Amino acid sequence: MRQRDLVLATSSGSLFETFDFYLFSLFSVAISQSFFGEVSDDNMLWVFIIFASGYFARIIGALFFGYLGDKHGRSLSFRYTILIISFTSIAIGLIPTYSVIGIFAIILLFILRIAQGIAYGGGLSGAIVLIYEHTHKHRGLYCSIVLVFASLGVVVANLIHTSVVTWMNPEKVLDFGWRVAFVGSGLIVFHCYYFARNTLKEPLIFREMQQSQKTDGNAIHKIAKHYKSLLICVFFTQAGIASYWGILVAYLPTYCAEYCSLSKIWFSQLFLVISIGIAIGNIAGGIIADKLGIRKAYLFYSILMATIILPTFYYALKNSTPIIHLLIAMGILAFLTGFMNSTAQYLASSLFPAEIRFSGVAICQSLGMAFFAGLAPLYVSILTDYFNTP
C-alpha cells in the first residue's frame, strides 16, 4: 500500500470524526435552547453532562472495537467507527425539538451522543495503530499526521460554527443552522467510509498473527492479567493532553461567551491559533521523536510542559493582558501541547505487544479522555459556580 493513500485514508476519517464530535461543544448554546427551551446555568449543566456522556461511552467503544480490532482486523474496526459517526451525526441534526416531542428529544440526544462516543472510542486509536503497524521508518511523522488531521477537524468545526453564527441571525441558527452543520458533516463522513473501505488493508503483522492463530480475542483478559502496570503508565500519558484538550477546546466557547469581552472575531482567531498551534506542534513533535527516539522525546516534552504551563496560564488569564499577547501565549502553549500529543500516541502504540495493541491503546486513550477531557467542562463549570469566579 502506498504511504500516501494509507495516511490520507486514516487521517481523513480522524478529521471528520473529531469535527463531528466537537460540533456538539461549539453549538452547545443552540442545543441548550433547542432541547431545554432556554440558556441557563442548570440547562447548560445538562448539556455538559450529555457532552461528557460521549466521552465515557468511549470506554465502551474502546472495549468493543479493541476486541474487534485485535481479533478480526484493524481496518475493519476503523471503518465501522466511521460509519457509526456518520449516522449518529445525521440523526442528531434531525431530532425534533423539545417543544415538539418533549422529553423524548433529550432522551434521543443522549442516546445518539452515547452511540457517537462508542464509535469514537475506537476511531482515533484505530487510525494510530494502523499507521504504526503499516510503517517502519518515520513512524513519528506518520502518526503525527493523523493527529494533525484530528486537530484540523476542530479547526474546520470552528470555521463552520463561525460561518453559521456570522451569516445567520440567532433565530435561524436556533431553527436550522446548527442542524445543517450536523447533517452536512455526517454526509461527508459517510463518503470517507467508502474511501477507507476501498483503500485500507490489514497490516502484515496482523495477517501473520491470524495465520499463527494469535488473534484469539482475549486481549482484555491478557491486559488485566499481565499488563496492568503498563496500562496505568500509558493511561497517565494521556491525562495531561486530555485535560488541556477538554478545557481549552471543549469549555473555551462557553467560557468566552459568559466571562470574556472577546468579540466573535477575536474568539475565532484565538480558537484558530490554538488549533493550528497544536497541529504544527504535532508534526514537529513527530519529526523530533524520530530523531531522538520516542522515550527521550516524551521525557523532554513532559519536563518542558511542566515548566511553562502555570506561568503561561497565569499571564494569559490576566485581564490586563493585550489580546495579541494572549494569542501568542496560547499559540506557544498549543504548539508545545502538539509535541506532547503526537509523542504520547506514538509511545502508546510502541509499548503494547501486537496481539493486544488495539485494545491497549484504545482503552488508555478513552479512559484518559473520559476522566480528563469529557468531565473538564462539567467540573470547571461547577467550580466556577461554587467559588463564584472563573
pLDDT digit string (tens) for 353-384?
A: 888 888 888 888 888 887 887 777 777 778 87
Taking residues 163-190, what's their average pLDDT? 80
What's the pLDDT score for residue 8? 76
What's the pLDDT score for residue 19? 76
pLDDT, one tens digit per residue, over 112-138 is: 888 888 888 877 788 888 888 888 788
Q: Which cell numbers in the block locate residue 313?
A: 496560564
Taking residues 83-91, what's their average pLDDT? 87
Percent of the chain with pLDDT over 70: 88
What's the pLDDT score for residue 74? 79
> Would you call 356 exposed, middle or buried from its count of C-beta atoms within 10 A (0-12, 13-18, 19+)?
buried
pLDDT band of 1, cuts 50, 70, 90 = low
The answer to whether residue 72 scores a pLDDT higher than 70 is: yes
Q: What are φ and ψ of residue 222, in 5° steps?
A: -65, -40
Taking residues 88-111, what's their average pLDDT? 85
What's the pLDDT score for residue 58? 83
pLDDT, one tens digit per residue, over 248-266 is: 766 766 666 666 666 666 7
pLDDT, one tens digit per residue, over 263-306 is: 666 777 777 788 788 888 888 888 888 888 888 888 888 888 88
Distance CA 347, CA 183 (A): 35
Give the position of cell 440547562. Answer: 43
What is the SS3 assignment for the chain?
CCHHHHHHHHHHHHHHHHHHHHHHHHCHHHHHHHHHCCCCHHHHHHHHHHHHHHHHHHHHHHHHHHHHHHHCCHHHHHHHHHHHHHHHHHHHHHCCCHHHHCHHHHHHHHHHHHHHHHHHHHHHHHHHHHHHHHCCCCHHHHHHHHHHHHHHHHHHHHHHHHHHHHHCCHHHHHHHHHHHHHHHHHHHHHHHHHHHHHHCCCCHHHHHHHHCCCCCCCHHHHHHHHCHHHHHHHHHHHHHHHHHHHHHHHHHHHHHHHHCCCCHHHHHHHHHHHHHHHHHHHHHHHHHHHHHCHHHHHHHHHHHHHHHHHHHHHHHCCCCCCHHHHHHHHHHHHHHHHHHHHHHHHHHHHHCCHHHHHHHHHHHHHHHHHHHHHCHHHHHHHHHHHHCCC
Taking residues 49-73, what's their average pLDDT? 81
Most confident range (mean pLDDT) of 99-103, 271-275, 350-354 is 350-354
From 18-32, 34-48, 162-176, 210-224, the region with the lowest mean pLDDT: 34-48
What's the pLDDT score for residue 196? 66
What's the pLDDT score for residue 250? 65
Q: Which residue has the higher pLDDT, 163 or 13?
A: 163
Percent of the chain with pLDDT over 90: 0
Q: Which cell numbers in the block locate residue 32?
A: 441548550
What's the pLDDT score for residue 254? 66
Tally Cβ neighbours within 10 Å of residue 56: 18
> Would you call 117 exposed, middle or buried from its count of C-beta atoms within 10 A (0-12, 13-18, 19+)?
buried
**Dihedral (CA of 368, 370, 372, 374) sign:** positive
- Length of the chain, in residues: 390
pLDDT, one tens digit per residue, over 195-229 is: 666 677 777 777 777 777 666 667 777 888 888 88
Q: Which cell numbers in the block locate residue 76?
A: 475493519
Give me the domains of the chain, ranges plus CATH numbers: 3-387 (1.20.1250.20)
Q: What is the mean pLDDT of the chain?
A: 79
Q: What are φ and ψ of residue 96, in 5° steps?
A: -65, 160
Report CA-CA distances (Å) from 146 to 94, 119, 143, 192: 30, 17, 5, 14
- Conformational region of residue 239, where left means phi above 0, alpha means psi within -120 to 50, and beta covers everything else: alpha
Taking residues 58-70, what's their average pLDDT? 84
Amino acid type, 5:
D
